[in-house]
Amino acid sequence: MIERIVAVDDRRPSYANRQPDESVNYSTEHPLSEFAWLAGGVLASVALCFALVVGFAGVLASRIPFDVERDVARQIEGFWCPRSISAEGRKAQETLSAIADRLAKAMPEAGGITVSVYLDERPIVNAAATLGGNIVVFRGLLEKLESEDAVAMVLAHEIAHAAFRHPASHLGRGVSMYLLMAALSSATGSTVGAQMFQMAGQLPVLKYGRDQESEADAAAVAALVSVYGHAGGAMDVFRVFSSAASRTEGVEFLQTHPLTSHRTDEVGKIARKNGWAIDGGRRPLPDSIRSLR
């Protein structure tokens, strides 16, 4: 009966195995075009969701009474308060406090808050405002500043952060962001999904940070001009930052601060609009700060 089977195979076309029809089971859309639609849509909606929730949390946190914020700050002092300070550092810190008080009085936004200035003697080129109106200036930055005007700009910028309650709203955003990320990452159940959310979620949050920097710059320059008569100190500080950075600054939308060149332009624009002088005679550094060099 071998012939019978062979007959099925060779002479009866109804029993032939045909090639699979590839036009039915496969999508004709190019994988990259589908991917572009999906990535764009999903990432945009994640970014929008983060922007709304995190933005709202930031607004809520900045409505916390300042006294409560100060109490909270006292409990976590160890994170930012320098542990020890030299005798010369203490003198410089007192001078900084005096300048800060003068600036705070000139800043209408700082009416409801009290500001404390700390000097951290590590060689870091930075200054920061933390919860409760506490401002930390690093010795590394002070050593680079050439005039009292520049020191005042740094302080005014940080006072403005405190006045606008930025540290509190930053904390509120950070916590809500963390919760959202944890929730979404576990919902997607994959590391790739988590990575994607981190990327999409961070962008709006960084944008809030940059907006806050610009807001603080504007208020700081106004205070600087009202105490020192011109905005020269601001330009000096930006020059120090751009020479300290001495690198290509990268892409702005991935950063916490606006690019220094944008900050310089922005402050120049504000000064021109209000008819403020951009340059003028600088006051020399107070002796206590000069002695840190």
Partner 1 sequence: MKFIAQYFDLIVFFVLLALGYSVGRWNELRHFHSLRTRERLYARVLTFSAKTPPDVVTAQDCMLVAGGVVVSSDYFKQFAGTLRSFVGGRMAVYETLLDRARREAILRMKEQAMRRGYRLIVNVKIESTNIGGVRGGVPAMEVFAYGTALKPHTPAS
Mutual angle of helices 31-62 and 191-228, in 10-degree steps: 50
Q: Identify the residue among 5, 11, 87, 253 touching partner 1 (CB under 8 A).
A: 5
The smaller minimum CB distance to partner 1, of residues 44 and 76, is found at 44
**Candidates 19-27, 54-62, 64-72, 167-175; binding stretch for partner 1 (CB under 8 A):** 19-27
Site size for partner 1, by CB under 8 A? 37
Cα–Cα nearest to 69, from 118, 127, 120, 116: 116
Cα–Cα nearest to 204, from 57, 61, 39, 63: 57
Q: Quick check: 177 and 205 in contact, CB under 8 A? A: yes
Least spacing, CB of residue 175 vs partner 1, in Å: 23
* Planar angle of CA 73, 137, 128, nearest 5 degrees: 55
Least spacing, CB of residue 281 vs partner 1, in Å: 37
Cα–Cα nearest to 204, from 188, 238, 180: 180
Spatial neighbors of 19 by CB under 8 A, at least 6 apart, are: none
Q: Identify the residue among 29, 67, 71, 143 touching partner 1 (CB under 8 A).
A: 29
Distance CA 151, CA 224 (A): 10
Q: Identify the residue among 13, 248, 253, 273 touching partner 1 (CB under 8 A).
A: 248
Least spacing, CB of residue 17 vs partner 1, in Å: 5
Least spacing, CB of residue 186 vs partner 1, in Å: 9
Q: Which two tokens stand for residue 200?
A: 């999409």
The smaller minimum CB distance to partner 1, of residues 39 and 76, is found at 39
Least spacing, CB of residue 130 vs partner 1, in Å: 25
Could you give the C-alpha distances from 86 to 47, 81, 126, 206, 217, in angstroms and in order? 47, 14, 19, 36, 31
**Candidates 130-138, 150-158, 224-232, 245-253; binding stretch for partner 1 (CB under 8 A):** 245-253
Binding flag, residue 98, partner 1 (CB under 8 A): no
Residues that bind partner 1 (CB under 8 A): 1-2, 4-5, 8-9, 15-17, 19-20, 22, 25-27, 29, 31-32, 34-35, 38-39, 41-42, 188-193, 195-196, 199, 247-248, 250, 254
